Amino acid sequence: METMEVKTGAMTGEQLESILDRVFRDHKDDIGAWHKRMMEDHEENLINVEGYVAVLDIATIRVDSWDGCNGYYELSAEQYSDAMGKFGENIILDEDAVMTKQGLVKRYRFPLVINEIAGEDIFQYRIVKKEDSPLKNIVGGMVSPTQSIEWRMRRGGD
């Protein structure tokens, strides 16, 4: 049986890199197979809902509450089921509809339409069929189209 001398003390960066290179080289196929298997088993936790859109009715006076509106709106599985129930779609929530195999909570994502309406109390999302969605950017009397664009650039998210 071959014996190996074990050294103690500080290891240089080159020594560590040499060891890691040897491990990755010796196990390259195993690492590749593991990664391939992992990607086959991976399940996204974002589900894009087709045919519907989330409309944000926002009072222009409250436009500074926009943070985070960046083109989509997400619902939990329970909220998604409730929203679709209003359109007559009976969605049964089983374990697969709520959580991925990896234990991630699923989020149901709708495209977002921002609908500006003058007023003080309006700040809510409505889920509607795409063909029924109102025109984008209906600008209320309190804000000019230029101001609207400036606010959207500043607050519209990524």
- Tell me the pLDDT tens digit for each residue of 92-120: 888 888 998 888 899 999 988 877 766 66
- Please give the Cα distance from 71 to 77 (Å, whole number): 20
Do 127 and 63 share a structural domain?
Answer: yes
Quick one: what percent of the chain has pLDDT higher than 90? 16
1 in any annotated domain: no
Q: Is 96 helix (H, G, I), strand (E, B) or coil?
A: helix
Contact present, 111 and 88 (Cβ < 8 Å): no
pLDDT digits (tens, 9 = 90+) for 54-77: 888 776 665 555 554 567 888 999
Handedness of CA 142, 130, 68, 86 (dihedral sign): positive
Please give the helix or strand (H or E) that residue 14 lies within, else none: helix 13-26
136 in any annotated domain: yes
CA dihedral 43, 46, 48, 49 (to 10 degrees): 100
Range name among 18-22, 60-64, 85-89, 153-157 with the lowest pLDDT average: 153-157
Confidence band for 123, pLDDT divided at 50, 70 and 90: low
Do 51 and 18 share a structural domain?
Answer: no
Do 142 and 71 share a structural domain?
Answer: yes
Do 143 and 113 share a structural domain?
Answer: yes
Do 23 and 95 share a structural domain?
Answer: no
Do 101 and 27 share a structural domain?
Answer: no
Do 36 and 61 share a structural domain?
Answer: no
100 in any annotated domain: yes
6 in any annotated domain: no
Do 38 and 50 share a structural domain?
Answer: no
pLDDT at position 120, please? Answer: 63
Confidence band for 158, pLDDT divided at 50, 70 and 90: very low
DSSP state, 118? -
Do 140 and 112 share a structural domain?
Answer: yes
The reported pTM is 0.59
Do 86 and 101 share a structural domain?
Answer: yes
Do 29 and 51 share a structural domain?
Answer: no
2 in any annotated domain: no
Total domains present in the chain: 2
Beta-bridge partner residues of 46: 107
Do 52 and 37 share a structural domain?
Answer: no
Q: What are phi and psi of 107, to 5 degrees?
A: -120, 130
* Mean pLDDT, all residues of the chain: 78
| pLDDT of 9 higher than 70 | yes
Structural domain that includes position 99: 46-155
